[in-house]
Amino acid sequence: MGKGMRLYFVSILGGTLCGSPLTAQVLLQGGDYRQDFDSITSGLPSGWSVWTNATRTSLGAEASFETNTTSWAATSAQFRNCASVTNNTGLLDTNAAAATQHTFTNRVLAVRQGTSFGDPGAAFVLRLANTLGWSNLQFSADMMMLDEEGRETIWTVDYGLGLTPSSFISLGTCTNTGTPGTIQRPTFTLGPDANNQPQVVTLRIAALDPATGTGSRDTCGLDNVRLAGQSAASASVPLDIKRTDSGVELTWPDPEFSLQAASAPWGEYTNVPGAGSPHSHPLNGGQMFFRLVK
């Protein structure tokens, strides 16, 4: 993670909410936010919480999270710590035994809804302390099918302002469907009211409607959440690009900013080693995207 992609966390007022300590919110600073949930055996990451009874006008009730590694097919209705279907070693093993799943280091924040648990109303919540200096915030995540059963859950991505919003702006939906290992990647851009916002911004991935179909409910997993935007600081520094005989030349006026590159707009951006302005980049590969970070 480059120096411009640090994430800072801030403590809030130390209160409690529904019996669970609410310890922190995420503060965007200097780059984008990513969450891989690979450390959830120690608890939910800062800024994250899980809820039931979520509606379009309420966060609902904060729920507990089972930190112990739990198999995809376990039938207990709960928020749980599951293995990804793709281990960090790259192995794709949708038939892995429970004991093998427990050894996977690639974890996901998962939920198994039940007749009286979270259907509808299950929600994954991320709170940002504020978005001061940020605009054009883009959210994306992997929604992963872990255990496929008869019902299908429609997940709504929405956000509201404040710690406990009573209204939410819906960005869209994604339906977790397909065979185990199928990944949906909802990607949405937050509205202008999420730009440069001094209040807490509360983002959700919520089952606001009853699951469709009949029978048991799937186990769904959330992973690789990304939140990226444009910061006022970096927006003020132009990155110019021009064609040369051998490729392109990138120039920028502030040496405190470093150049990063990625093969897709969403990244993953990595530092371009030794790059200073002007930087010559050959045209010898696929498309590339550049940005400046500080």
Q: Residue with CB nearest Ca ion?
A: 36
**Parallel, antiparallel or unpaired: strands 240-243 and 153-161:** unpaired
Taking residues 220 to 259 in sequence order and writing x for each that binds Ca ion by CB under 5 A, - otherwise, the string is: ---x------------------------------------
Min dist CB 178 to Ca ion, Å, is 8
What is the length of the chain?
Answer: 294
Q: Which is nearer to Ca ion, 85 or 203 (CB)?
A: 85
**Residues 75/112, Cβ–Cβ less than 8 Å:** yes
CA-to-CA dists, residue 59 to 27, 29, 228, angstroms: 20, 26, 24
**Residues 59/123, Cβ–Cβ less than 8 Å:** yes
Min dist CB 210 to Ca ion, Å, is 13
Residues 14-43 that bind Ca ion (CB under 5 A): 36-38
Binding of Ca ion at residue 106 (CB under 5 A)? yes
Min dist CB 90 to Ca ion, Å, is 13
Which among 152-160, 229-237, 259-267, 277-285 is the span making contact with Ca ion, rule CB under 5 A?
Answer: 152-160
Q: Which is nearer to Ca ion, 5 or 200 (CB)?
A: 5
Q: Which is nearer to Ca ion, 133 or 178 (CB)?
A: 178
Min dist CB 213 to Ca ion, Å, is 6
Rounded-to-integer distance, Cα 282 and Cα 199, Å: 44
Q: Which is nearer to Ca ion, 83 or 171 (CB)?
A: 83
Min dist CB 148 to Ca ion, Å, is 5
Rounded-to-integer distance, Cα 104 and Cα 90, Å: 10
Min dist CB 87 to Ca ion, Å, is 10
Rounded-to-integer distance, Cα 170 and Cα 189, Å: 11
- 166: its two tokens: 């009573």
Binding of Ca ion at residue 147 (CB under 5 A)? no
**Can you tell me which of 171, 197, 218, 259 binds Ca ion, judged by CB under 5 A?**
218
> How many CB atoms within 10 Å of residue 69?
18
**Can you tell me which of 66, 93, 152, 249 binds Ca ion, judged by CB under 5 A?**
152
Residues in binding contact with Ca ion, number by CB under 5 A: 7
CA-to-CA dists, residue 276 to 18, 282, 287, 294, angstroms: 51, 15, 21, 13
Rounded-to-integer distance, Cα 194 and Cα 126, Å: 14
The angle subtended at Cα 108 by Cα 290 and Cα 111, nearest 5°, is 130
Q: Which is nearer to Ca ion, 32 or 218 (CB)?
A: 218
**Residues 283/247, Cβ–Cβ less than 8 Å:** yes
Min dist CB 40 to Ca ion, Å, is 9
**List of residues contacting Ca ion (CB under 5 A):** 36-38, 106, 152, 218, 223
